[in-house]
Amino acid sequence: KQEVTQIPAALSVPEGENLVLNCSFTDSAIYNLQWFRQDPGKGLTSLLLIQSSQREQTSGRLNASLDKSSGRSTLYIAASQPGDSATYLCAVISEGYSTLTFGKGTMLLVSP
């Protein structure tokens, strides 16, 4: 059974810092990995999707990497802003399945 772990559970940084969020998964047989953002009381917004054959994806100040063989992904946020404050969730679709398995998320607070 696939399990997804995110470290740290919470992170507080001052504005302007670069930061890294970590995600690990137990079964490396995945189709893809997706990073989401969730604001308090809101739904999930898809940020980046990395296919199993890819190493990284970039969108603006966000860069996600995937090391499938070691079961790890990182989300790099450059020059963090207070508007980046949210919970970031990592999820994978395992081979043979169509459903996402989620981590518990990292709650990020960027202070001005």
Partner 1 sequence: DARVTQTPRHKVTEMGQEVTMRCQPILGHNTVFWYRQTMMQGLELLAYFRNRAPLDDSGMPKDRFSAEMPDATLATLKIQPSEPRDSAVYFCASGLDWSHRFFGPGTRLTVL
Per CB under 8 A, the segment of 7-15, 17-25, 60-68, 91-99 that binds partner 1 is: 91-99
Find the binding residues for partner 1 in span 18-37 (CB under 8 A). Answer: 31-32, 34, 36
Question: Applying CB under 8 A, does 49 fall inside the site for partner 1?
Answer: yes
Alpha-carbon Rg for the chain, nearest whole angstrom, is 13
- Minimum CB–partner distance for residue 75 and partner 1 (Å): 16
Give the integer Cα–Cα distance in Å for 15 and 81. 5
Provide the 10 A C-beta neighbour count for residue 54: 14
Question: Applying CB under 8 A, does 75 fall inside the site for partner 1?
Answer: no
* Partners of 49 in beta bridges: 34
DSSP label at 41? T
- Minimum CB–partner distance for residue 24 and partner 1 (Å): 15
DSSP state letters, 85-111:
-EEEEEEEEETT--SEEE---EEEEEE
Annotate each residue in 52-71 with x if it binds partner 1 (CB under 8 A) or - if it does not, as one string.
--------------------
Question: Applying CB under 8 A, does 43 fall inside the site for partner 1?
Answer: yes
Q: Which residues bind partner 1 (CB under 8 A)?
A: 31-32, 34, 36, 41-46, 49, 89, 91, 93, 98-100, 102-105
